[in-house]
Structure 1
């Protein structure tokens, strides 16, 4: 059987060539009829040359498709003025290349203007899209005379998202994109416009902050100052990224930098650790009994592991079978980054000892029926921790209605146990995945030694 490669054919002379028609969808961008290239005189030469040229063609088509999509979005009015300018510049260059005489340029402009009604006095097109308006200016005056629009917050947002796209799982990126869109939408509503970045003022920043603080959640409560602080952190990241990556003046500084968020009256003394309370012994016992007797087996095992390790919920639901070691001198679970689960911080990557009931729960979890390598197949997926949280919280709320009592309270229970057992702060942080202060604490020391120390600490805390 001869050589069989997509878009490859043998000519009458016996040579091998790549031949592929330009897709109709990009024919306005790629003006030639087909991609054509000699690959070699033999099958061996053709096989060697094919991958590189085929990849070049795929990249050119993908780039052209992106241009077409941007152009269509601009024509629909869905692009920013800066994006519309890029589309208009490409069209003007194609319609009136350098050296085109003014009579031809005016004829091109007349064709564009003819699509619209004209102002009887100025003869300007009424309701022209940004792309057509800018194309007219560029054809008539050229790129030097028609300044590129200054970047706006919407431009900064799109660049920020483009940099993150492809670096996350689709589900994670979708959630991130929603958060970014909400922050930018609130900002534009507060200011009544899509602001030009270099025109933002400190007064604008305060207005945005106060507008966010006035937002009301679906339950009728006002949004918390801590949520507004998170929104502003996201907004700062978007703008500061644009300051680095876009052609902003070197003197530009975001007016949102160092913008404080007033605490709600009566909440100034509430620290970060007071937002959740440990579950009281009676509540903890009642919730555990309810879950172990009423919940699905895998959910009950997740609860027992959370209670016995102090791990975050996503760290447990994202465990793989290979991350669980129940034999040897120091049984443990390995909390690691993988394709199905990202971690909160670098310090989150760690080995957590399995002691007492947590070890028994891990052994039982390994016996669960499964397809694939996730320890908890029902929850080891995108948003699986959210599903587990919702299911567990139903049981928690059946016992306690205190808003400070949640699944996350189990981490506070473990923190208290470690403190009462007089475990050193460094060892507590290693177990719980908190940031480690000194460079030596973060970098030096082997896993076996750390496991030996943390296992003893857990035995004291749970003993």
Structure 2
């Protein structure tokens, strides 16, 4: 008795040819611009067909993983990230080729197969020239490094949102982050960014305060400094944003009263009444009294220790 096995996602074309065809999840299809991942297969039966199907399943999963990462808001890969990912993938694919082929023959066989499938040109280059010079480290790499080392896992969304906001402003002033190699950054880029920051507006149309600009600039300086260290660029790149004066000398002087926008009086009173009448924990009323009376941020108040508070000081 002859037994046949139906391989998932493999259908038959004319002449006995096989095709791997699998539908992308909706979120992935929106990113890659294709509804299906489909590739004509070389093998037609037996162990070779099973092996090729397993390889294509793995390739499908890699595409899905990359697309989901982009859909999750981590953005487009920088040239350096793209290259390193391609080299890693190429090495894994070459290791799967069995037989008595030497390294050069493995490269040629794999590159020919990838070219036939219309694969990523960067992946094909990584197969044929794995020792090629890497793309330069860009501001996109600096952002990703800072996100991983300084922002990821941080409580709350403030630091993540601030990083995105700062990088959006850099892109408006200087262009896409992945096209800004760190080794090419000069003081002229810093001055161009400064001039752009001075034109930034709040949602109500008023200009950003010098204090707000300073905070965002500090994030940018820290981001570039971290990348120079982590990518071993000391002596090759410098941080042109260090010491940049963002305050407009021709603008109005900043006073204590406009350093932070106060809440309207009616909101203050309404909040006070609500906490007085409905707060289940007395500590919430005390926290609000400190916030209202000092103008501190919430984290500055709830993080106070006993020794930080001196009630007898006039």
Q: 1:307 to 1:238 in 2, by over 3 A?
A: closer
Instruction: Normalising by structure 1, report the TM-score.
Output: 0.44
Aligned-pair CA distance for 1:166: 5.5
Q: 1:110 to 1:242 in 2, by over 3 A?
A: same
Corresponding residue for 1:139? 127
Separation in 2 of the partners of 1:182 and 1:278?
22
Separation in 2 of the partners of 1:73 and 1:287?
41
Corresponding residue for 2:165? 182
Contact 2:86/2:122 (<8 A) preserved: yes
Corresponding residue for 1:245? 230
Q: Which of 78, 94, 112 matches 1:110?
A: 112
Q: 1:150 to 1:232 in 2, by over 3 A?
A: same
Contact 1:183/1:235 (<8 A) preserved: yes
Q: CA RMSD in A?
A: 4.1
Aligned-pair CA distance for 1:308: 9.8
Count of equivalent residues? 242
Contact 1:198/1:252 (<8 A) preserved: yes
Q: Could you tell me which runs of 5 or more consecutive residues in structure 1 were left unpaired when the two chains were aligned.
A: 1-64, 117-127, 319-335, 337-348, 353-429, 432-453
Separation in 2 of the partners of 1:110 and 1:310?
69
**What does 1:140-155 align with in structure 2 at a 5 Å threshold?**
140-141=128-129, 143-144=130-131, 146-155=132-141
Corresponding residue for 1:229? 214
1:301 to 2:256 alignment: no
Aligned-pair CA distance for 1:187: 0.8
Aligned-pair CA distance for 1:260: 0.8
Aligned-pair CA distance for 1:296: 4.8
Q: 1:255 to 1:226 in 2, by over 3 A?
A: same
Separation in 2 of the partners of 1:101 and 1:261?
55
> Alignment partner of 2:214: what SS?
helix
Aligned-pair CA distance for 1:91: 2.0
Instruction: Normalising by structure 2, report the TM-score.
Output: 0.62
Separation in 1 of the partners of 2:166 and 2:262?
32
Corresponding residue for 1:83? 81
Separation in 2 of the partners of 1:191 and 1:225?
20
1:204 to 2:202 alignment: no
Corresponding residue for 1:213? 198
Separation in 1 of the partners of 2:238 and 2:277?
54
Q: Deviations over 1:251-276 (max 9, x none)?
A: 432010111113363523x3457636
Contact 2:173/2:193 (<8 A) preserved: yes
Contact 1:160/1:241 (<8 A) preserved: yes
Q: Deviations over 1:159-204 (max 9, x none)?
A: 11111356433xx1x3211110111121122112321111111111
Q: 1:272 to 1:252 in 2, by over 3 A?
A: farther
Corresponding residue for 2:55? none
Q: 1:247 to 1:218 in 2, by over 3 A?
A: same
Q: Could you tell me which runs of 5 or more consecutive residues in structure 2 were left unpaired when the two chains were aligned.
A: 1-60
Contact 1:156/1:242 (<8 A) preserved: yes
Q: Deviations over 1:405-425 (max 9, x none)?
A: xxxxxxxxxxxxxxxxxxxxx
Separation in 1 of the partners of 2:270 and 2:103?
84
Aligned-pair CA distance for 1:350: 3.1
Q: Deviations over 1:264-314 (max 9, x none)?
A: 63523x3457636999xxx99x99877665665256934774289858352
1:192 to 2:178 alignment: no
Corresponding residue for 2:24? none
Q: Which of 232, 235, 240 matches 1:255?
A: 240
Separation in 1 of the partners of 2:220 and 2:197?
12
